[in-house]
Amino acid sequence: MEDKVQPEYKATQVVEVGSAEERVRALREAYLNGTLTVDSAKLARKMLSFERSLDCLYHNDSESLR
């Protein structure tokens, strides 16, 4: 039987912020105090999805120029 891999992410706190500056400041503070954790698998999926969306946009734009 296979062991299930536990995710790295552990929610320690939720910070709701309004502006981008507040969000960056909250992320920086969490990083510096060691409470920021990252789910590397989820991050990788999001990065791949973003890259694919850029590829689709580039592909669609290049075809419309023809």
pLDDT digits (tens, 9 = 90+) for 13-63: 665 667 888 888 988 899 899 898 888 999 999 999 999 999 888 777 666
In a domain, 54, yes or no: yes
Domain count for the chain: 1
Q: Which domain holds residue 54?
A: 38-66
In a domain, 12, yes or no: no
Q: Does residue 5 contact residue 42 with C-beta atoms inside 8 Å?
A: no
CA dist 43 and 51 (Å) reads 12
CA dist 34 and 28 (Å) reads 10
In a domain, 3, yes or no: no
Q: Is the dihedral of CA 17, 18, 19, 20 positive or negative?
A: positive
Query: What is the reported pTM?
Result: 0.44
